[in-house]
Amino acid sequence: MRQVHVVRHPLVQHKLSLMRSAERSTQGFRRLLNEIGMLLAYEVTRDLPLEEVEIDTPLARMKTPLLSGKKLVFAPILRAGMGFVDGMLDLVPSARIAHIGLYRDPKTLQAVEYYFKAPPDVAERLVVVLDPMLATANSAVAAVDRLKERGCRELRLVCLLAAPEGIERFHGAHPEVPVWTAAIDSHLDSHGYIVPGLGDAGDRMFGTR
C-alpha cells in the first residue's frame, strides 16, 4: 500500500546537489526547482494509461497510443509548491491547477489554511499535490484531507526532499497516496527543518530570507 518512489535519475540528483548549496543564488535555485519539476513530472506520469486510436499519417492509416483515463490537476501547496508548476506544465500543458494556501505556524508547526481554489471537476481528475519539502508533513496531510473532502480519490504527492518523519506521518494519514521524492534526508531539527536539507525552500526561491 505505502509507496515511496525515490527518483534517482542522474540529472535530478545533480540538480538537487546544486540546489542544496548555500552559495546558490535565488535565480539559480528557482531555475533548478523548475527543471527538477519537469523531470519529476516525467516520473509521476510514467504509468498513465494509454489507449490505441486510429489516425492518418501523411502516408498511411495506423493505430497509435494516446493518453486515456483521468485528466490531471497539479495542486501546489503555496508558496514553495509553485516552484514546480511551470516545469510540470511544460510537460502536461493541459493540466489544471489547484492552489492550496497553507503556512506553518512557527510555534506549533501545524498547517494553517488561508486559501483553497480548485477546478470545479477536481474530483474527476488525478490530483498531483506539489510540496517540495516533506518535513513534518502537516501541510501535505492537510492538503490531501481538503482534496478528499472535495471528493478527490486518485491522488499523488511529489516532493523534492523528504524527512523519514514526514513520510511516516504522511502515510500514517494517507497510506494509499504514493509519494515521489528526489531524496530522503537524515532527520528533522527541533524547528522542523530537514537536515541536511536545503533550508527554507520558499525563502530561497523568492529571495525573502
145 among known catalytic residues = no
The one-letter amino acid at 124: E
Q: Which of 64, 108, 121, 150 is catalytic?
A: 108
Which of 40, 135, 179, 183 binds ligand URA (CB under 6 A)? It is 135
Exactly one of 43, 86, 154, 200 binds ligand URA (CB under 6 A); that residue is 200
- How many whole angstroms separate alpha carbon 104 and alpha carbon 133? 12
Cβ burial, residue 194 (10 Å; 0-12/13-18/19+):
buried
The span of 40-48, 58-66, 95-103, 192-200 binding ligand URA (CB under 6 A) equals 192-200
| CB contact at 8 A, 127 and 140 | no
Of 118 and 161, CB closest to ligand URA: 161
Site membership for ligand URA, residue 170 (CB under 6 A): no
The yes or no reply on residue 33 touching ligand URA (CB under 6 A) is no
Confirm whether 185 is a catalytic residue.
no
Enzyme catalytic residues: 104, 108, 200, 203
Q: Which residues bind ligand URA (CB under 6 A)?
A: 80, 133, 135, 192-194, 197, 200-202
Instruction: Detail the residues annotated as belonging to a binding site.
Output: 79, 104, 131-139, 194, 199-201
